[in-house]
Amino acid sequence: MSPTSSPAAGASLSAARRSRELTEAVGGPLVDVLVVGLGATGAGVALDAAARGLSVVAVDAHDLAFGTSRWSSKLIHGGLRYLASAQLDVAHESAVERGVLMERTAPHLVHAQPFVLPLTPLVSRGQAALAWAGFRAGDTLRLAARTARATLPAPRRLSAVETRHLAPALRSDRLRGGLLSWDGRLTDDARLVTALARTAAARGARVLTRVRALELTASGARVRDELTGEEGVVRARAVVNASGVWAGDLVEGIRIRPSRGTHLVLRSDRIGPLPAGLHVPVPGETNRFVLVLPQGDGRVYVGLTDEPVEGDVPDVPSVPESDVGFLLDVLGSVLDVPVRREDVVGAFAGLRPLLDTTPADRPGAGPRTADVSRRHAVLTSSEGVITVVGGKLTTYRRMAEDAVDAAVAARRLGAGPSPTAGLPLVGAAAPHVLAGLRAPRRLVRRYGTEALAVQALADGDARLGERVLPDHPVTGAELLWAVRHEGALDEADLLDRRTRIGLVPQDRAEALEAVRDLVGRTTAGRD
């Protein structure tokens, strides 16, 4: 893909396109594949099917990345954690998919992230040796996955001085040094989903947000337009349920065991310069860490928990004070000046859609969620609906491929193998091409080659070049781009998913009026 100052052909999602394609889909001709859910997996299924030449309709009751896919740690893991639990197939799959994202499909969105594990008095020499062996094993995984050394540098030991240089906020008292490792890191998980959906749209998929699936059958779904209340039917040869933690609400027999992962949001100046992220060992655990993740936008995330969730699944999970206290306690074990509760300016929680494989008469029994396998599963109901569950953000592409393979085989659809391992997403280009773009580096990391088009909006209107908030880098041009090309329909889409302003309630409130004004002007056709 070559640099351009306009959006990729056919990849623009807008309110007008949604309205037109919804009218065509409901009550329209039979399509090959109907996808329900537009998180990373569902958007990946839509792309995979469309890339094979199949006709596709993909719906979500809310917005792109409304659920779990916007609440992650923004990391593309290489599978190190799964080596420790002898899940070698999951570890290798993760490492392969990490390499695919970093080197082929989304090098503009996924970059190498350094992490420091500080060797404090709380980390015994035996634990340090075990961690070092793990990092070396992780590098072997990189090699087995054929990911280049230039993409992910080798782990190495750090002196105490080097460790403090990469993380000045660390307590220096009896600091023995540190261990440096590398992994993949997303600029933004919701932006990955947006890129997937837009790439699918460029291949002909109809991507329809605010369309709720009320009832699924093997031959389609009854749906409701959440903007108008109108109902209708979308007919399809194959139906894929990719609704994550809500999968069991649409298909009988699917049992999900949600696990809550909580992150705190801090202002960057509270911790100070962080050239690297941190792995902070959880006391009493051999393979669990709290992560400190600098975001480059004036914020730092601290996460995450792994706690089982009982009862009904909410649209937006709440963050209990017990999670906040746990994360602050672990973080405080390594900092020179502990972070206080009042320093936490925001928090978010996501629910991992883990498959419950315990006996039907004992749902939820078995190991704690932290120990439940992250393998994914593709299941076909007695009705013939295909459901894809489990897994994790890193392996969304493989999950999507397996789901479409199942649909093709079950319904004898005329399609070949998946091409998505080598299919660049919207905005992707080789690193040297991205480096040569005449656009701000921050925009390149969020939009890739389309950064030129976003910057052109700002250059053409001084108002659009201004920041929405004084202390946050997002500009009006990015909001306008999201409305015109990324399917944003209202203020919440802009604040909470196309940008991450909404993660801090105070910032969200301050930006709301400006965002509302821009949406109003755009809707009225004045921009």
CATH number assigned to the domain comprising residue 494:
1.10.8
- Position 372 scores a pLDDT of 44
> Do 209 and 232 have their domain in common?
yes
Give yes or no for residue 366 having a pLDDT over 70: no
Rg of the chain over CA atoms, in angstroms?
22
The rounded percent of the chain whose pLDDT value lies above 90 is 81
Pairing of strands 344-355, 256-267: antiparallel
More confident residue, 36 or 523: 36
| Tokens at 434, concatenated | 């991205």
> Do 295 and 173 have their domain in common?
yes
- Position 365 scores a pLDDT of 47
107: in domain:
no
Return d(Cα 281, Cα 334) in angstroms, integer: 9
Asked whether 374 and 208 are in contact (CB, 8 A), the reply is: no
Q: Please enumerate in sequence order all residues whose Cβ is within 8 A of that of 499, keeping only pairs 6 or more positions apart, or say none.
A: 468, 474, 478, 479, 482
> Do 181 and 207 have their domain in common?
no
Kindly state the DSSP code that residue 486 receives in the 8-state scheme. B
> Do 451 and 514 have their domain in common?
yes
Banded pLDDT at 285 (limits 50, 70, 90): confident
Q: What's the rounded mean pLDDT across residues 117-133?
A: 93
Residue from 297, 262, 304 nearest 282 by CA: 304
Residue from 153, 172, 173, 154 nearest 163 by CA: 172
Give 315-343 pLDDT, tens digit per residue. 999 999 999 999 999 999 999 988 999 99
Question: H or E element: which one contains 220?
Answer: strand 220-225
Largest CA distance in the chain: 70
9: in domain:
no
Lowest mean pLDDT among 21-30, 65-74, 369-378, 455-464: 369-378
Q: What pTM, to 2 d.p., does this model score?
A: 0.94
93: in domain:
no
Give yes or no for residue 400 having a pLDDT over 90: yes
Which residue matches tokens 């896919």?
69
The rounded percent of the chain whose pLDDT value lies above 70 is 94
7: in domain:
no
> Do 513 and 443 have their domain in common?
yes
Domain limit, last residue, from 353, 386, 411: 353
Torsional sign, CA 473, 479, 480, 486? positive
237: in domain:
yes
More confident residue, 369 or 126: 126
> Do 343 and 386 have their domain in common?
no
Question: What CATH code is carried by the domain that includes residue 143?
Answer: 3.30.9.10
- Position 369 scores a pLDDT of 40
Burial of residue 365 (CB within 10 Å: 0-12, 13-18, 19+) is exposed
Return d(Cα 190, Cα 39) in angstroms, integer: 8
Domain limit, last residue, from 328, 353, 378: 353
Q: What's the rounded mean pLDDT across residues 470-496?
A: 95
| Tokens at 70, concatenated | 């916007």
Return d(Cα 254, Cα 249) in angstroms, integer: 8
> Do 58 and 195 have their domain in common?
yes
Give 172-208 pLDDT, tens digit per residue. 999 999 999 999 999 999 999 999 999 999 999 999 9
Banded pLDDT at 403 (limits 50, 70, 90): very high
Domain limit, last residue, from 329, 353, 377: 353
| Domain count across the chain | 3
Torsional sign, CA 122, 124, 125, 131? negative
Give yes or no for residue 308 having a pLDDT over 60: yes
Q: Please enumerate in sequence order all residues whose Cβ is within 8 A of that of 125, keeping only pairs 6 or more positions apart, or say none.
A: none
Asked whether 386 and 401 are in contact (CB, 8 A), the reply is: no
Banded pLDDT at 368 (limits 50, 70, 90): very low
More confident residue, 227 or 521: 227
> Do 437 and 504 have their domain in common?
yes
74: in domain:
no
> Do 251 and 270 have their domain in common?
no
- Position 360 scores a pLDDT of 53
Question: What CATH code is carried by the domain that includes residue 209?
Answer: 3.50.50.60
> Do 137 and 203 have their domain in common?
no
Alpha carbon of 238 to those of 36, 183, 323, 370: distances in Å?
Answer: 11, 36, 41, 34
395: in domain:
yes
Return d(Cα 229, Cα 250) in angstroms, integer: 19
Banded pLDDT at 25 (limits 50, 70, 90): very high
> Do 305 and 439 have their domain in common?
no
| Tokens at 43, concatenated | 């958007």
Give yes or no for residue 43 having a pLDDT over 60: yes
Q: Please enumerate in sequence order all residues whose Cβ is within 8 A of that of 262, keeping only pairs 6 or more positions apart, or say none.
A: 303, 304, 305, 307, 319, 320, 323, 324, 327, 347, 348, 349
The C-alpha angle 125, 126, 127, rounded to 5 degrees, equals 90
- Position 1 scores a pLDDT of 44
Structural domain boundaries, residue 498: 431-524
36: in domain:
yes
Alpha carbon of 113 to those of 69, 116, 187: distances in Å?
Answer: 20, 10, 10
> Do 339 and 374 have their domain in common?
no
Kindly state the DSSP code that residue 65 receives in the 8-state scheme. T
